[in-house]
């Protein structure tokens, strides 16, 4: 028996708080343009260098560094769409990236899982991705499924198998393209076409999108950037994510890290627009700190990066990936994870990023505890409720009931009470903690809820013929990967 996938709940971006003034944004933009024009960005791809050269950029073939004038940046980015759709299996799961909504995503690409049965840590596999897609399908605040962990049982084609596990286990939009081999990218496009139904529909409502990281400092990945070109041609949206780490791959200050990350992202977006004007791209900078003693990757930095990066993206007039999230460095569930994820969730509505949240992982996006996604979802739900638009009129004041009960007495026998006592939306976890016979830990209740969804939620499957088409594409991709490896 198939289950119904609930409608997606999106945060409204009405409550946005701007941390950067327009003058500060202009200073940052100016810095980015200076970097692009004077220092340049390395593109180790003949294809990319040719495109830049054809459009008049200053290309040094020896160093593979491209310097881009401010005019060329402006001209190229003028074709980047401010708004586009990330398609779901049905239109009711479409995400409209227009600056008015913030949709929550799951976290992505971790490598370790706490096994549901043994509770021991192990390597992630495709079945974990599939399970998490089903769980995400049942959680209304999750709008965007990013495979939380890697399908490490599939080697080179892992990203394609992650995409497959997503497309076949949720009706929501799937982040499907972290492939690092351009030769494998066409298979993802084919998969997207099968799910969308046609070439035209894939362009209108692409069921998958991709994330390509830029290489801090000031470089691109040959495979990544050529993969992005394949997606851009096919109308599959790509977010370019800079991951500057303060102290190692970026200056040790927030502004230095932001401006160098921005230059990387902008250079990639410019290339896409020069090659395929109008290609849907979005902007992302994830700043971290190098732990000064261990060198470790620290994401919990006390600085409003989420809000700043959204403003920077919107200042370039493109949608943003980022703007608050529940992802944190804690290694296990406890006070630290609770406070870090709670604070992260609280920033989501005020940041106003189009895709944000990153639910479900700990240990710097590396470790999946099954129950974490339920806890994160709960926190986000509370934030969602806090920012919901409140609507009422005089009838809602219950004046007639108040008048009828009068001073003293009580409301226990009132029909109005029976009608409304269930209205008050307690979050599912708090509800069970307080209403149960005995107080239980939120972790235990979350795990129970996870298991319940896992046992019962079965989203509408794709039609048989589409499933077998996807299998055929995967088999062909696996074959191509074997060839590439040889």
Its sign, for the CA torsion 183, 189, 195, 198, is negative
Residue 155 contacts which entry, other proteins, ligand B1M, none (Cβ below 5-8 A, type-dependent): other proteins
Residue 276 CA to its chain's centroid (Å): 24
The smaller minimum CB distance to ligand B1M, of residues 5 and 245, is found at 245
Spatial distance between the Cα atoms of 125 and 113, rounded to a whole number of angstroms: 9
Tell me if 150 contacts other proteins by CB under 8 A: yes
DSSP element (H, E) containing 324 = strand 321-325
What are the CA-CA distances from residue 332 to residues 67, 336, 368 (Å)?
45, 9, 10
The smaller minimum CB distance to ligand B1M, of residues 255 and 297, is found at 297
Residue 485 contacts which entry, other proteins, ligand B1M, none (Cβ below 5-8 A, type-dependent): other proteins
Q: Are 433 and 356 in contact (CB under 8 A)?
A: no
The shares of helix, strand and coil residues in the chain, as percent rounded to the nearest 5, are 45, 15, 35
Q: Give min distance, CB of 129 to other proteins, in A.
A: 12
Among 105, 106, 211, 245, binds other proteins (CB under 8 A): 245
Residue 247 contacts which entry, other proteins, ligand B1M, none (Cβ below 5-8 A, type-dependent): other proteins
Its sign, for the CA torsion 379, 380, 384, 386, is positive
Length of the chain: 486
Q: Are 219 and 264 in contact (CB under 8 A)?
A: yes
Tell me if 111 contacts other proteins by CB under 8 A: yes
Spatial distance between the Cα atoms of 442 and 432, rounded to a whole number of angstroms: 9
Helix (H, G, I), strand (E, B) or coil at 205: coil
Residue 281 contacts which entry, other proteins, ligand B1M, none (Cβ below 5-8 A, type-dependent): none
Stretch in the footprint of other proteins (CB under 8 A) among 292-300, 333-341, 349-357, 405-413: 292-300
Residue 365 contacts which entry, ligand B1M, other proteins, none (Cβ below 5-8 A, type-dependent): ligand B1M
Spatial distance between the Cα atoms of 214 and 225, rounded to a whole number of angstroms: 8
Q: Give min distance, CB of 150 to other proteins, in A.
A: 5
Spatial distance between the Cα atoms of 84 and 292, rounded to a whole number of angstroms: 41
Tell me if 298 contacts other proteins by CB under 8 A: no
Torsion angle, CA of 161/162/167/170, rounded to 10 degrees?
Answer: 140
Which residues does 161 contact at the CB level (< 8 Å), separation at least 6?
126, 129, 151, 154, 474
Q: Nearest to ligand B1M by Cβ — which residue?
A: 109
Among 311, 309, 310, 318, smallest CA distance to 280 is for: 318
Tell me if 63 contacts other proteins by CB under 8 A: no
Residues that bind ligand B1M (CB under 6 A): 108-111, 150, 178, 180, 211-213, 215-216, 221, 224, 243, 245, 249, 295-297, 364-366
Q: Give min distance, CB of 317 to ligand B1M, in A.
A: 24
Residue 156 contacts which entry, ligand B1M, other proteins, none (Cβ below 5-8 A, type-dependent): other proteins
Stretch in the footprint of other proteins (CB under 8 A) among 257-265, 289-297, 303-311, 398-406: 289-297
Tell me if 158 contacts other proteins by CB under 8 A: yes
The smaller minimum CB distance to other proteins, of residues 151 and 350, is found at 151
The smaller minimum CB distance to ligand B1M, of residues 103 and 358, is found at 358
Among 223, 443, 449, 457, binds other proteins (CB under 8 A): 223
Spatial distance between the Cα atoms of 426 and 411, rounded to a whole number of angstroms: 21
Spatial distance between the Cα atoms of 302 and 329, rounded to a whole number of angstroms: 13
The smaller minimum CB distance to ligand B1M, of residues 138 and 149, is found at 149
- What is the binding site for other proteins (CB under 8 A)? 111, 123, 150-152, 155-156, 158-159, 180-181, 215, 219, 221, 223, 245, 247-249, 290, 292-295, 366, 485
């Amino acid at each position: 028996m198939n289950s119904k996938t609930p409608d997606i709940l999106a945060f409204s971006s009405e409550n946005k708080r701007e941390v950067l003034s327009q003058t500060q944004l202009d200073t940052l933009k100016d810095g980015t343009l200076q970097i692009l024009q004077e220092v340049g960005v390395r593109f180790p791809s003949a294809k990319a260098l040719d495109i830049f050269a054809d459009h008049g950029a200053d290309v040094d073939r020896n160093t593979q560094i491209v310097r881009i004038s401010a005019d060329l940046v402006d001209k190229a980015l003028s074709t980047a769409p401010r708004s586009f759709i990330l398609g779901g299996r049905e239109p009711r799961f479409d995400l409209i990236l227009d600056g008015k909504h913030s949709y929550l995503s799951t976290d992505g690409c971790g490598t370790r899982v706490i096994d549901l049965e043994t509770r021991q840590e192990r390597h992630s596999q495709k079945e974990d991705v599939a399970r998490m897609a089903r769980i995400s399908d049942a959680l209304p605040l999750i709008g965007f499924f990013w495979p939380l962990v890697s399908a490490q049982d599939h080697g080179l084609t892992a990203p394609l198998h992650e995409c497959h596990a997503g497309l076949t286990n949720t009706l929501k939009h799937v982040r499907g393209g972290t492939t690092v081999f351009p030769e494998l990218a066409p298979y993802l496009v084919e998969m997207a076409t099968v799910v969308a139904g046609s070439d035209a529909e894939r362009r209108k409502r692409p069921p998958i999108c991709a994330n390509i990281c830029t290489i801090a400092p000031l470089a691109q990945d040959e495979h990544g950037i050529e993969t992005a070109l394949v997606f851009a041609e096919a109308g599959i949206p790509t977010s370019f994510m800079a991951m500057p780490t303060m102290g190692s791959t970026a200056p040790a200050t927030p502004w230095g890290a932001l401006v160098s990350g921005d230059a990387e992202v902008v250079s990639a977006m410019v290339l896409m627009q020069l090659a395929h004007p109008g290609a849907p791209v979005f902007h992302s900078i994830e700043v971290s700190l190098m732990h000064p003693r261990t060198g470790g990757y620290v994401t919990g930095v006390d600085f409003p990066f989420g809000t700043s990066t959204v403003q920077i993206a919107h200042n370039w007039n493109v949608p943003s990936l980022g703007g608050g999230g529940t992802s944190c460095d804690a290694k296990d569930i406890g006070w630290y994870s609770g406070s870090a994820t709670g604070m992260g969730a609280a920033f989501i509505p005020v940041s106003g990023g189009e895709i944000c949240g990153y639910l479900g992982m700990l240990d710097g996006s590396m470790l999946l505890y099954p129950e974490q996604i339920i806890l994160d979802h709960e926190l986000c739900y509370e934030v969602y409720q806090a920012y919901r638009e409140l609507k009422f009129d005089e009838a809602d004041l219950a004046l007639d009931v108040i008048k009828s009960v009068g001073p003293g007495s009580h409301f226990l026998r009132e029909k109005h009470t029976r009608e409304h006592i269930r209205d008050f939306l307690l979050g599912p976890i708090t509800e069970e903690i307080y209403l149960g016979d005995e107080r239980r830990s939120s972790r235990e209740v979350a795990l129970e809820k996870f298991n319940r969804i896992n046992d019962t939620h079965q989203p509408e499957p794709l039609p048989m013929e589409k499933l077998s088409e996807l299998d055929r594409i995967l088999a062909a991709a696996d074959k191509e990967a074997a060839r590439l490896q040889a």
